[in-house]
Structure 1
Amino acid sequence: MTPITEVEGRRLTLSNLDKVLYPATGTTKGELLHHYARTAAPLLAHLAGRPVSFLRYPDGAQGQAFFTKNPPPGTPDWVKSVEVPRSARRGEDRGRQVVVDGLASLMWAANLVVEFHTPQWLAVAPAVADRLVFDLDPGAPATVGDCCRVALWLRERLTGDGLDAYAKTSGAKGLHLLIAVAPTPSADVSAYAKKLAREAEGALPSLVVHRMRRDLRPGKVFVDHSQNSAAKTTATPYTVRARTEPTVSAPVTWDEVAACAEGGAPLRFVLDDMPGRLEAYGDLMAPLFGQGHPPLPGRPPDAGAAR
């Protein structure tokens, strides 16, 4: 029998809860849904107001995965969706995307077996970023420890510009840095991120590459600045990834980053690690929320707000 449960007054059909999604660990779909339920408070805060893209892997991490921005077939009419420009430029090729705005829609989406991905802008202001992101991706034999060394350099550089960086594991091989900024056109944020990525390569030439070319990346950390493009998305904090094991894109402390950079334990967390981390630290990325974040260098505080 397919379980039916009620969440926030909505009846949800939760299917195949015993299905193994991660053969390496035996993790089931029911355990995945339990993770999303117990991390709902911080995850919903990071999803709030942002159009969601889904990476779906309904047959498990080793099965076929596909990325979609459109509301999936059969989306209930009570699940919120918003109209957004597909190019994230106003007035061009508009479509609809889901906005996960509560526990009921979170569990509906989780039942589809998804990773959650969001842009750096809110649905009410397409292409006006309130976050800046760097994706630090190690090219073998570089490791997450090398990513941590680059992250520490970027943190110091950003601090010099009055910006505070917060780190999380990508849930894959590398590290993500997120920085809250005053509302700024995505094109300007992209230009600033690219500038810092090039500076990182200049300062750490044996360790960093800022271009995506595969032949440049072995043994180095690719500082991917491209996810600041209005059309791009990044794995949302606390999402589970479709990897061999149920790894999570988990916020980490700068002490943990520094320890990893010095050869300590690699930063890697699975869904069972998250309750203890949330109890110990709360949401390490909570400072990203709210108002009054600093502008990018050279921009007045309200430069993007009129958009």
Structure 2
Amino acid sequence: MPDRIATTVDGRRLALGNLEKVLWPATGFTKGEALHYYALVAPALLPQVCRRPASFVRFPDGVEGELFHIKHPPPGLPEWAPTAEIHGKEGTRRQVLVDDMATLMALANLAALEVHVPQWTVDGGRNAHDRLVVDLDPGPGVGLPECCRVACLVRSALAEDGLECWVKTSGSKGLHLYAPIAPAPGRLVSDYARALAQRLEADRPDLVLHRMARQLRQGKVFVDWSQNASAKTTAAAYTLRAGRTPAVSAPVGWDEVAGCTRAEDLSFTPGQVLARIERDGDLFAALADPGRARPLPPAS
């Protein structure tokens, strides 16, 4: 592979460089391979991030170099990349909207390879969250299999409340569950998520924790309801993660969750994720369908 190529993506000219640069030394995974992955996974990834103000982890010197957590457009982003002014407690800032493949590839070319988005779009705004997210984070002494057990409990509890959910790996230690909802203020979504976590802890105090205190997490799975705050973001489906190896935040099936007995069962490389999409289709496609949204139940 040449180390620099000029190409056209969706009618936009891009000069892709440093393609042979190794970004994940543990496996030799290069920037060119990361760009190739994003080019192929874009049809599945873009519906999950479209119109959502994105933030990124940049690692131009690889995962063993300095990591830059950024919310603003990275230096060198083409002027044609869509952005929006986002108003929050920290003031107003401009953020990138990863709405098309050209923008995704331009960002990847700038080593902004880990993509995070909130549970609302710029069209609806912070008072119109269209997704509920439940972040399952294992404490010391437990791992992904225990997260899977809790995920099944969350799924059943949401179903009792009339909500359907989809699940993906975080690309690290835990799981993320998403339920499409009719637009609702972030405060109400957080209230419902906290009440849900409290309910689950009351039923399974041996396994589930809703409180954030780290000293309480030994042997428990923390149900992080706070990710529904309007200022919070979650790793996007299909994004690469800046870990030791090039892992992906990958959608998985509920049969896989139910059958998980070790972390390796639900750990996927970029190549494996692409093969899964070819074999099984996009397991998160239905999440982006507005017809799936259901009213948020009141917190109880």
TM-score by length of 1: 0.92
1:179 match: 179
Unmatched segments (≥5 aa) in structure 1? 300-307
1:238 match: 238
Unmatched segments (≥5 aa) in structure 2? none
1:37 match: 39
CA drift of 1:182 comes to 0.4
CA drift of 1:74 comes to 2.4
Q: Distance in 1 between matches of 2:76 and 2:143?
A: 41
Letter paired with 1:96: R
1:20 has 2:44 as partner: no
* Shift in CA distance, 241/265, structure 1 to aligned 2, threshold 3 Å: closer
* Shift in CA distance, 136/263, structure 1 to aligned 2, threshold 3 Å: same
Q: Deviations over 1:247-266 (max 9, x none)?
A: 00000000000001x56953
2:247 match: 247
1:49 match: 51
2:287 match: 288
Q: Distance in 1 between matches of 2:105 and 2:181?
A: 30
1:210 match: 210
Q: Deviations over 1:221-241 (max 9, x none)?
A: 111111100000000000000
1:270 match: 269
Whether the 8 Å CA contact 1:259–1:265 is kept in 2: the answer is: no
1:196 has 2:196 as partner: yes
Alpha-carbon RMSD across the aligned residues, in angstroms, is 1.5
Identity, in percent, stands at: 52
2:74 match: 72
* Shift in CA distance, 215/204, structure 1 to aligned 2, threshold 3 Å: same
Whether the 8 Å CA contact 1:20–1:28 is kept in 2: the answer is: yes
Q: Distance in 2 between matches of 1:74 and 1:19?
A: 18
Matching residue within 95, 98, 101 for 2:96: 98
Whether the 8 Å CA contact 1:85–1:126 is kept in 2: the answer is: no
1:221 match: 221
2:115 match: 116
Q: Distance in 2 between matches of 1:73 and 1:112?
A: 8
Letter paired with 2:120: W
Q: Deviations over 1:55-112 (max 9, x none)?
A: 111111121112111111222110010111133xxxx822211101211111001112
Q: Distance in 1 between matches of 2:277 and 2:289?
A: 20
CA drift of 1:24 comes to 1.1
| SS of residue paired to 1:223 | strand
